[in-house]
Amino acid sequence: MSKYKRKYCRFLLVDCVFRYKYTHKIVNCQILDLSHGGALLKIPQVFIKGDVITIFLKDNFGVEMPIKAEVKYSTFNKIGIKFLEDSLLVSDFISDIIKNYKDSDFSRIMRHEKLYK
């Protein structure tokens, strides 16, 4: 049996600017895709697996919610993060963001096959 567990996740492919906080500095980042479990970010700095950041997601009404996340994947200027907060409030907030982008003309939902340990 493989040491990898296969999961199917629905990611929303987006191209929008949000903010994140790391070591008391707040910096703009670009979210490339978003799901209920995490996101792929294009960032202006290098992180290592295990770093914890706070990402500030904003809905259509301008309401911003800070969500703690752990870096699970890192390259030169992109990181994959897993949200650490698993509350109903966070889940509903992300659902609203996904619904708003899904309903817009410039984004689309694709099914990605991801491998997780």
Domain layout of the chain by residue ranges: 12-105
Phi, psi of 51 (to 5 degrees): -60, 145
**pLDDT score of 103 more than 60:** yes
**pLDDT score of 8 more than 70:** no
Task: Match 């296969």 to its residue by tokens.
Answer: 6
User: Which of the two residues, 4 and 44, has the higher pLDDT score?
Assistant: 44
Question: 31-81, pLDDT tens digit by residue?
Answer: 888 888 899 999 999 999 999 999 998 877 788 899 999 999 999 899 999
pLDDT of residue 34: 85
Q: Of 87, 53, 90, 94, give the one whose Cα is nearest residue 70.
A: 53
**pLDDT score of 113 more than 50:** no
**pLDDT score of 12 more than 80:** no
Q: What is the pTM of this model?
A: 0.73
pLDDT of residue 60: 75
CA triple 27-32-34, angle to 5 deg: 100
Superfamily of domain 12-105: predicted glycosyltransferase like domains (2.40.10.220)
pLDDT of residue 111: 31
